[in-house]
A = this chain, B = another copy of it.
Amino acid sequence: MGLLVVGSLGLDTVETPFDRVENALGGSAVYISISAGYFSGPIYMVGVVGDDFPKNYMKVLENHNVDLDGLQIVKGGKTFRWSGKYHYDLNVRDTLLTELNVFESFNPVIPDKYKKSKFVCLGNIDPTLQIKVLDQMDSPNFVVCDTMNYWIEGKRDDLLKLLKRVNVLIINDSEARLLAHEPNLIKAAKQIIELGPEYLIIKKGEHGALLFANDTIFSAPAYPLEMIYDPTGAGDTFAGGFIGYLHKTQDLSSENMKKAVVYGSALASFCVEKFSTKALEDLNYLRVHDRYREFLDLSKFDE
């Protein structure tokens, strides 16, 4: 049974202190799908593009276990475009342009063959749409969801409704603080768990990630990268690796959830090594597993 992924597809123009790319393959659904595709397939991707979306980008997705039957192609429409510029400190970026285009009226329609999926990954889109996706599913038993400051502030009520229906919420540290109105991250996490999700993952970029459940906290290290070319998509790639590993192993225990966090971190550490999806495109399971082992070495100490 495929893994359902819903999110954005876009053409990204990204500038960093090192280089610049134009109209590169991007969007949350893209990063999640390619990343998850290294673990298991098919990936049932639902999203929307215009008919300007390059054919070779379709090929990249197909080559990574992504089924495109759920991709809406709007005739005469323009694909979502985003442009950003990273500073020398790559944690800081300016958004130069956001053209929603066909994404503005995106209405996720789940094809019948996708509805039986048991694993669902809701990329960062309007929580109203995320709910609409869940309403169309037969009986998913594992739902992972991402969101952002924009929805936490602007669509709080819908987001709170959604959180009662998801198993794992993945957000970053500033989003967690905003969602809980609490500066202490550990307190914030406990409050968010009360809102519905069984698990909360807080991404901290170069400082790793934290996994919270009712009775557990797990701290995953960050991979020590000497060169980060382009942080775009790292968070989505993390989510894809996380759910992809769980979908492959079909084991939803806490211990396996921790492994999934490290696999997500491993995929994200590859993502930032080149522009756009380039570094993700030519991975293989062996390289992913080797990096997993490096995370083990990095964080292991004796009793």
Contact = CB atoms under 8 A, between A and B. Distances in A.
B259 A301 contact: yes
A302 interface: yes
A224 B186 CA distance: 6
A243 B220 CA distance: 26
A299 interface: yes
Given A207-B207, A219-B208, A219-B222, A183 B301 contact: no
A184 B221 contact: no
Interface in A203-234: 204, 206-208, 210, 217-222, 224-228
A177 to B, nearest CB: 10
A154 to B, nearest CB: 25
Nearest to A182: B226
A290 to B, nearest CB: 13
A112 B219 CA distance: 46
B186 A226 contact: yes
Interface in A75-91: 88-89
Contact of A183 (B88, B218, B219): B88
Classify the secondary structure of A's interface with B. mixed
Identical subunits present: 2
Interface string A267-303: 0000000000000000000000000010010111111
Contacts of A210: 224
Contact of A303 (B217, B226, B296): B296
A262 B186 contact: no
Contacts of A109: none
A187 interface: yes
Contacts of A187: 226
Given A219-B208, A298-B218, A226 B184 contact: yes
A255 interface: yes
Nearest to A303: B296
A64 interface: no
B302 A259 contact: yes
B298 A219 contact: yes
Interface of A: 88-89, 183-187, 190, 204, 206-208, 210, 217-222, 224-228, 255, 258-259, 261-262, 293, 296, 298-303
The 10 closest A-B pairs by CB, nearest first: A219-B221, A207-B207, A258-B301, A186-B224, A186-B226, A187-B226, A217-B224, A219-B298, A299-B299, A219-B299
